[in-house]
Each structure stands twice: as C-alpha cells, then as structure tokens.
Amino acid sequence: MNVTMIYDYIIVGAGSAGCVLAHRLSTDANIRVLLLEAGKRDRQLAIHIPAGFSQVFHSELDWNYYTEPQAHMNQRQLYWPRGKVLGGSSSINAMIYIRGHQQDYDNWAKLGNFGWGFSDLLPYFKKAENYQVSTGELYGTRGLLNVESLRDKNILSRAFVEAGVEMGLQRREDLNHPEAEGVGFYPVTQKQGRRHSAAAAYLSPCRDRKNLQIRTETLVTRLLFEGTRVVGVEFVGPGGKCDRAYSNREVILAGGAINSPQLLMLSGIGDRDRLQSLNIPVVVHLPGVGENLQDHLIAGVVYQCKQPISLDKANTAANWLQYLLFKRGPLTSNIAEAGGFVKTQSDLLQPDIQFHFAPLYFLEHGLQKPRGHGFSLGATLLHPESRGSIRLASSSAFDAPRIQPNYLAREADLRVLSAGIKLCRNILQASPFDGFRGGEVFPGSECQEEEEIAEFIRNSAETLYHPAGTCKMGSDSLAVVNSRLQVYGVENLRVVDASIMPAVVGGNTHAPTVAIAEKAADLLRSNY
C-alpha cells in the first residue's frame, strides 16, 4: 500500500463540481491537488456528439442506478442514469443550461444559509459563463463554460414555441431571466456544435499542470481520520490495487447526491443506529446524511408526427457528413430543444412546472424507439413536496446504495403533475401543430378522467436526472454542512455538489452546481 502521496486538497468526484474545483484550486502552482474519479476518461464519441447522449445510458460510463420500488408508483423501480466518467453527469446530460428562479436561492438564504441568495450567487454564475445567448449585466462572457443557442432548431420545436404563445404564455428569448416564465429555446452547454461538459470546460485547460494529478478508474472507499479530523482517503485503483492519499488541508466530496452521502456513511458519518447495524464504526452521529432526497419527476404527452421531419431518423449518412464537416444539422440537437416555465396556479410566487419539448419520440430515456416519427412534451415537477433518502445497502463501496426518492408520497405532487399533463395536451393541440399532429400515443385519447391521468403518471413518469439535497446545507436537525459547506462534527471535510441544496432549484441542476463549486473555491481559498 502506497502511503507517500500527500496533497493539499483531495477532490473526490470529477463531475460538474469536481472539475471546477480542480481547475480553480490548482491555479496556484504552490497548491497540490488530487482529483479522483471512479469512471473513465471522456473519450467516447457519443459523449461529444450532442444528439448521442442516450447512447451512453446503460454503458460503462453510467453508474446504472435503480431506485427502490416506489410505493406510490405501482412498485416501479426507476432507472437513474448518472455519469461515471470525467465530467460526471455533465458528460451524459441534455446540455440544458438553466440557472433557476431567483426565488430558489433567496429561499435558501431565508433558511439561514448566509451568502446563498440569488444576488450572492449571481457573480459565480457570471464567473463560470461564456454566455452567447444574451448580453447585459446579468450574464458573464469571460468564463470557461460555453453557453450558446442551438445551431439548428427543428421545425417542430419552433411549432412548440408558437403553440405556447398561442395558449397565452410569454415568448422568452432567454429562459435564464431570474424570474423566467414563458416558453422559448433552451441555452445549451455546447461549443461549436460539440458538448461542452465540465471536463471540457474546466479540466481540458489545466490537465498539464504539474500540481494537478487526475486519476480515473479510481473508487474512493472511505475517508481516513485522526480522531474527528479527516486526513486523507483510501481508494481502489485500476487492477484492484488499494492505495491511500493524504491531505494537508482538506478533502472535498464532489460525488453528487448519491455518492457523497454514500461515502460519508461508509466512513462512519451518518445515523448512528443505521451505521452500527452494518458494523460500520461511528465517527460522528449525523442523522441528516442521505436524508432530504429530492428529484424532478417528469411525465409527458406524445403524439405521432404526420410528416417525416422529426429527429427520429436523424442517424443518416447525410446528417453524419453534415456534422463531421460543418458541426451542423440534426446531430447538434440536445433533443430537449425547447421548453419553458409555467405556474399551474396564478397566485404562486414562481413556476411549479417546467416544459421539455423533444422533436421525436422520447420514451424510456430515449431507449425505446417506436417506428415512424413523433414529438414529445414533458411536464416536470419543479418543487416536489415528497422527500426520500439514500441509504447504504452494505458496508462495501462497491455495492450500489439504496435509492428511495419516495416519489408522489405527497398528494400535492401528483396534483401538480396532473395539471402539467393537461397543459401539455393544450399546447400540443394548438393550431401551430395542426399540420404535424397525428394520433396521441401517450396517454392516449381514452385517458381523460382525473384518476386515469393520475394512473398514467404513476405508470410512466421518470426522473429528469436532478437528484439533490442529501447533504443538506443548513442549521436544523437534518443539516449536514454549514453555509461554508463544512461537514458538521469533523474537521477538514466539505461537500460541494448538488447534495448541499436545501431544496432543489426550479430548473436543471448543472448550472447551479457549477456556481456552487465556483463559490466553494473562493471559500476554500479564503480559509488559507
């Protein structure tokens, strides 16, 4: 066992947050940084061609998680793809760049998290961004993460925006307005027609720094302690070799809402009784670890398309040639090209439904391929009241944890999603789709009554890939980290990823996670 590796910072996880931290902390040539990633390097072609992201699902670049049976969804076990690769889930997502509503962050601050309101985080969004969609003081143009408009928008996506406007929704040229409500095209993390993941944006410019070591195919199995002070990590690298690395300053967990609480519990930080039941020595009794799990659930309406203009048959030689020569055409699509935000009740302070429109059949995460052409509109529940948990299945880091999102446990969640389905139908039945719309495939024209729609949601809703909240920032009994993202009860340990969100933001989570990491880098530097 190698015990000679000593660094200033050890970062566990090279996803959206870990890549940012590795870049920012290694800017100082006198600081030694180790970045550990369980997955492989991001070399697979399907990562970089935008329309190919679903090809990575169920591959070696995917953690390939499944939930526990869902009591309120007819005992279904839902598939949760998560990136097991440099860039993490930013290497396999739909590239949508949405910050979230201003109210999301102001609510964090109201919960006692000083420094986490929207005005506090705005400088970090701007710091990250090379924003090509809009101009003005709200956006950054010198950051490392490229954000641009889609190069080629499908005619069906344009019809969706026009249909939304016809139904009374505001046309939004940029859906990243702090109080965005309405419909439009999504900004995407692409650069010249290629995915611009966190790895491409933040790691590529700094991979040759002598003070930064990046180790892939390396699974961290536990934290190392002296008393309650974290001094390093133990990990298993390629070939099954077990090693240790030590930190002079801090260890930072950036494994996401599943892996960060899992590693804390494996290391003896969590609920005392549950740890002892697995014979894990308790270092700190911290019952909130793994609790407060939230995720965005999506259910959709799907129609046949009468014209062969969808993306269902985009994988052609002509489209490949167009992409390879010019980085244009259907293969530059992020699939969920357009969408927006809407309130299901007029008295709400912020939208509670997000739309995702795809100009193709998007069924079972894009893995089911019906014959012919279609288009899909999903309603996403932005502010779920239901709460779940991440729990250990065993004391081994090689065993997937138990994922229990507890979807639809609160009746209000089902009610909002049902309202969202009705809104989706209204939009897809508007006149801009008259020349394209065939029969309704899902839920189907026979599904009209409230209970029929509710049963359709229970049988078909899926994750939108946004788990959060399992290492909650705050000061209550379930809080895991303070407002400086330091883990309660131990020294030299922080969590920096979507798991620290007290409540999941009302939008896609990649952009907020990058901003969290940008702020965390400043917090770390200010400590020393």
d(CA 489, CA 511): 30
Q: Max Cα separation, the chain?
A: 69
Asked if residues 24 and 211 have their Cβ atoms less than 8 Å apart, the reply is: no
Strands (E), 176-322: 182-185, 190-191, 194-195, 212-215, 219-226, 229-236, 242-253, 269-270, 284-285, 297-305
Residue with tokens 């950036």: 254
Contact 57, 38 (CB under 8 A): no
Give the C-alpha distances (Å, rounded to integers) separating 40 from 215, 218, 245, 360. 9, 9, 20, 30
Total Cβ atoms within 10 A of residue 132: 15
Closest CA to 289 of 9, 477, 116, 112: 477
To the query of whether residue 466 is one of the catalytic residues in this protein, the response is yes
Q: Residue 229 gets which letter from DSSP?
A: E
DSSP string, 305-351: ESSS-SSTT---HHHHHHHHHHS-SGGG--S--EEEEE-SSTT-SS-
User: Of 260, 280, 283, 227, whose CA–CA distance to 36 is shortest?
Assistant: 260
Q: How many helices (H) and strands (E) does the chain have?
A: 12, 24
Q: Which of 48, 101, 296, 466 is catalytic?
A: 466
Tokens of 210: 């002598």
Q: Retrieve residue 242's tokens.
A: 């077990």
Q: Cα separation of 10 and 13, whole Å?
A: 10
Nearest CA among 494, 367, 348 for reference residue 412 = 348
* Helix pair angle (510-527, 16-25), 10° resolution: 30
Sign of CA dihedral 474, 492, 200, 84: negative
R_g over Cα of the chain: 22
Alpha carbon distance, N-terminus to C-terminus of the chain: 31
Q: Which residue from 513, 519, 64, 526 is spatially nearest to 255, judged by alpha carbons?
A: 513
Active centre residues (catalytic): 466
